[in-house]
Copies of this chain bind each other. A is one copy, B any other.
């Protein structure tokens, strides 16, 4: 049980660390073979509106998306720093969790700014290789993220 809890913390920690390192290929490895990833403004999520800013419903689409982001990032050079809060077990088995996050970005002039805050809502899956993300919902506190597409959240 408590081993499981640490496995969950480790998954979230790896998630942020790989994004911050710009290591998108290994970030993808944190997702299950069948997976989904979407970014939704909080307002839409709270109202049950389906409109997402990003919606990838399988691994191939997510991989393509990340490659496109990486190319776009050449024109919006910055580094990310995620701070991810402790996860809340929405279901007692720990396979549906929520965790708050803040992402800070540093631009080429060395200015660090708060970029976005929100809540992760992750459906997880136990696999032989360990805990993986089956369905990640990034609920953004704002609907207005100008340079949203620069890097995954």
Q: Which of A47-55, A57-65, A115-123, A125-133 is found at the contact surface with chain B?
A: A115-123
* Chain B residues whose CB sits within 8 angstroms of the CB of A119 once the complex forms: 20, 81
Q: Give A113 to B115 CA distance when docked, in angstroms.
A: 9
A83 at interface by CB-CB < 8 Å: yes
Instruction: State the Cβ distance, A8 to closest chain B Cβ, in Å.
Output: 10
Contact across chains for A112 and B104 when beta carbons are under 8 A apart: no
Instruction: State the Cβ distance, A101 to closest chain B Cβ, in Å.
Output: 8
Contact across chains for B13 and A142 when beta carbons are under 8 A apart: no
User: Given A42-B79, A111-B144, does the pair A86, B84 have CB atoms closer than 8 Å?
Assistant: yes
Instruction: Given contact pairs A81-B119, A83-B83, enumerate 15 new A-B contacts (beta carbons under 8 Å).
Output: A2-B3, A2-B6, A12-B86, A13-B85, A20-B119, A79-B141, A83-B100, A83-B117, A84-B85, A84-B86, A102-B102, A106-B117, A109-B144, A112-B116, A112-B117
